[in-house]
Amino acid sequence: MSAVFETLNECYSVEKNIQLHAAWLGKISGLKAEKLLRGRKKPFLYILRAGEEEQDYYVTFVLPNFAIKHQPFTLCDTEEGWSFVNGGCGGPFQNAIIDDVLHLIMHCRKEELSAFVKA
């Protein structure tokens, strides 16, 4: 029974949720992410991408002044749920997906977010 539970947890992990997200571009450089967003006039338009280590990620996004920011964050798993660390921290979250907390990582309101979807 525990093997089934572990499989379900893996299928619904926040890491898997990030990697299946419409804004996920995987292991691209910050320069490439910035080039994709440069010139966009939509604050908080964002890309999710892989960091250098396992459980390290970046959200690259357009600021209100149209500059580009690369915000690193690290995911941490505990018995109470998952958390993120990015200068501050949030969590633990048990049933949250990345869309539920991304505004906290980017320091904006949830309704301001807009995922960049590569055509």
Domains of the chain, CATH where assigned: 2-115 (3.30.505.10)
Mean pLDDT of 85-92: 83
CA angle 47, 52, 56 (to 5 degrees): 65
Say yes or no to pLDDT of 2 above 60: no
Find the DSSP H helices in 22-73: 30-37
Alpha-carbon gap, residue 62 to 29, rounded angstroms? 16
* Number of alpha carbons in the 13 Å side-chain half-sphere of residue 49: 25
Find the DSSP H helices in the chain: 2-11, 14-19, 30-37, 98-106
- What is the pTM for the complete model shown? 0.86
